Structures are given as C-alpha cells and as structure tokens.
Chain A
Amino acid sequence: MFRGMKFELESKIKNKFVQKVEELSGENLSACYQCGKCSAGCPSAPFMDILPNQVIRLIQLGMKKELMNSKTIWICASCFTCSVRCPKGVDLAKIMEALRQIQLRQNIDYGKPLNLSKEKIGELPQIALVSNFRKFTA
C-alpha cells in the first residue's frame, strides 16, 4: 500500500514539473516525436551534456533533477535554430528558457556573472553584459 502511495505522490510531483514547464513555455511537450532535428542543427550541441531532443524527453519523464543540474540549459544561446526547424512546431528555445527560469525564480543565479573584472566589463559591449545578466541572474 505504501509503495502505491509513494508512486502516486511521485507522479503528482512530476506532473507539477511538467505542467510548470508547459505553462512557462506555452509549448505542448507531447507534440515532440523525438526526431532529433533540433539536436542535429543546434550549434551549441557539441558543448552540451544533454542534447536538445533529450531535454524534451527528460521533461516528459519528469526528470527535474537531471535537467536542473545539466549544463545544457545554460549553454543554449537562444539562437532559435531549433525553433524554426522543428517539424512539429515545438519552440524548444522557449522550453530551455522555462527551465532556466525555474531555477532563477528560486533566486539562484547561474555561476557568478556579477563577479566580472573591471577589464572584462570595459572590453565587453553593453548588449553582451545586459543579455548575459538577463539570462543568468535571478
């Protein structure tokens, strides 16, 4: 009986995570049929630990911890290549943003983007700094 309860509870938590991603991204996760086109064209894929199509699969399976600890969601550069290529119209860039937001909204920054040296700040154009802070800070 306890095992049954645990399973039910777990699937409720998982559903909450899936729901949250769908709500934040506005995308329908079950539309993805895992063709892999997003990963094939993603210019950041060589630097990722979980490929873009796998990200969707892991969300469907409710594997929040694996996703939240992955480098992938922070390596994605919001280039929208996947968004224009997905044959099912899934906007993966929005899903990546939803995952980043789930962490940032707990007031946890990614890395320490605000600890930049003076030289670096002087060298970088404003749009690099502002966009970086927008993507990586709470």
Chain B
Amino acid sequence: MKLAYYPGCTLKTQAKNFEDSAIASFEKLGIELEELKRWNCCGTVYSLTSDDLMHHLAPIRNLIRVKEEGKSKVVTFCSMCYNTLKRSAIRIKNNDEDREKINNFMDREEVKYEGDIEVLHGLEVLKNEVGFDKITKIVGEVHEPPILNGLKIAPYYGCLLLRPDEIGIDDPENPSILEDFIYAIGAEPIDFPYKNECCGAYQTVNEVNIVVDKAYNIINNAQRMGANIIITSCPLCEFNLDKRQKDIKKKYPNFKEIPVVYFTQALAVALGLDPKTYRFDLNYISPQAVLVK
C-alpha cells in the first residue's frame, strides 16, 4: 500500500531520526510512504483567530499538492504539522465562505481545494491500516521474546496529538493509543499523569526557564513511575524533553538523565531493522544502551 507523505521541515533536519525510522518501519510493515513532490512549511501553528485566513494558505496549499498527485489522504508524523494541517482542513471544509475566499486568492493553483483531503497521523495508520495485532505478530517473528521485552516506556502525548477534540487521535484526557502501540512492540507502558501535560512548546526560544521546569516535572514523574525511556511524536517535545536535559541538570543537579526517542525509533528497533535507520546520533541522551541490548 502506498500513502502520500508530508514530512514537514523539522523531519528533514533535526528530526531526521524521526523520518528515517518512520520510512524504514513503515516499509517493513507494508506501507510505502511517498513523499509529496512539492510541499511547503505548514506554518507550525494553527491560526486561532476568526479572520486570519491568510495563515491557512500554507496548510491548504499542501493539501492541494496531495490532490495534484491523485490522492485523497496524506500522512504526517510531526504532531505540530498534523494539528495545523488537520485543523485547517476541517475549517476550510466546513466553511463555504472561507473556502471560496481562499480558492479565489490562490487563483494560480490549477486544482481547486474542495475540502476533500483527509489528514492522518502516523500512529493512526499503524492502528487502523496496519493494525496493532499485525505489528505484534511481526515483532514476535523478528525475535522471540520481542527485542524490547521488559522495557518500561513512558508514552508522552503532549498537546497537539490530542487537543482540541475535533482533531485528537484519541481521548484528550485519557488516551491509550500510545500504550497500545507500546504493547504491540513488545514493551510495557507505564502510566504517568504528566503524559498529556504541555512541555512549554515554543516558549523554549525565549523562556528557557519555564520549559526547564515543565520538562523536569514531566520527566521526573515518568521516572518515578518506573520508566526506562520516553517516547514522543513531536520534534518540539523531543527538543524540550531531550536536549533541554542539559539545562535541567544545571538547575537541578540531582536530576538523572533518561533517553527520549520518537515512537518510530522504538518501532524500528523492535522490528530488528538496520541500526542505520535509528539515527541515534541525533538524540541528545543516547538511547543505545537502553533500547539495543
């Protein structure tokens, strides 16, 4: 099965470990991710004001690219891209006046946007198109017991996969898709109350202190509940939880470091793929010792 794939900017650079592990794992699971021939930055945040149609142009242009390639669905892995593309898609689909205005503005586009592209997150594809049962089966065939058997993983959802309700891939308060994913790859999820608490997001640019405190609380909570490692699906969460551990350590000297990886990196390990696809060199705290025995 082939699926149109929208990488977004960060998966091409700092989060290349997310992209490489995603493409390789999906291939092993029978899904070929076909990167859009043309795409642009989605804008990273969904425009929240009622009148600011201009900022919906970037996400909608990407959906036009999907249409141009004759597809009706597009998959993305970054939680921020997912949230922005999906919310814009819903707004433009449900609002005739906005749709007309935005199409009139993009009069040089050859294809009109009719609100007809479905935006999916990679986790939804794993759950609904591949099926967690099938993943369990393949992971069991690769190694018996599964490579990640006994590993305690903290599922960190963050905000933008779950909120607001209209785009959430699961229950915003009590999600379980990442836990189900963790079981499927043969590891054990830990339950921790900070799993959907905000890491401070873009405040990391000018309010490092706030992010340090938030990330410290999240990580500390996961560790107290017994986690060996944390998984995420957002490059901004990854930066705040992984790379900011350097700053956490400065403020809280007793802090103990813990690796943070993309869910696709854990998947690639569980599937026994070539270690080149893990790209652990891009993780700040090396996951090597914890993930690969």
- B-binding residues in A (CB < 8 A): 23-26, 43-44, 46-47, 75, 77-81, 83-85, 91, 93-94, 97-98, 101, 111, 113, 116, 120, 123-132, 134-136
Contact = CB atoms under 8 A, between A and B. Distances in A.
| Majority SS at the chain A contact face | helix
B243 A84 contact: no
Contacts of B210: 44, 47, 75
B287 interface: no
Please indicate which of the listed interface residues A83, A125, A127 has the most CB atoms of chain B within 10 Å of its own CB: A127
A92 B45 CA distance: 16
B164 interface: yes
A128 B49 contact: no
Please indicate which of the listed interface residues B159, B160, B201, B202 has the most CB atoms of chain A within 10 Å of its own CB: B202
B236 A91 contact: no
11 contacts: A24-B50, A47-B210, A78-B201, A79-B201, A124-B205, A124-B239, A125-B235, A126-B13, A128-B236, A130-B43, A136-B206
Interface of B: 8-10, 13-15, 41, 43-45, 48-52, 55, 78, 80, 159-160, 163-165, 172-173, 197-198, 200-207, 210, 213-214, 235-236, 239, 243
A84 B49 contact: no
Please indicate which of the listed interface residues B10, B43, B203 has the most CB atoms of chain A within 10 Å of its own CB: B203
Contacts of B78: 127
B45 to A, nearest CB: 5
A83 B162 CA distance: 12
B56 to A, nearest CB: 13
A116 B206 CA distance: 9
A128 B43 contact: no
Nearest to B196: A81
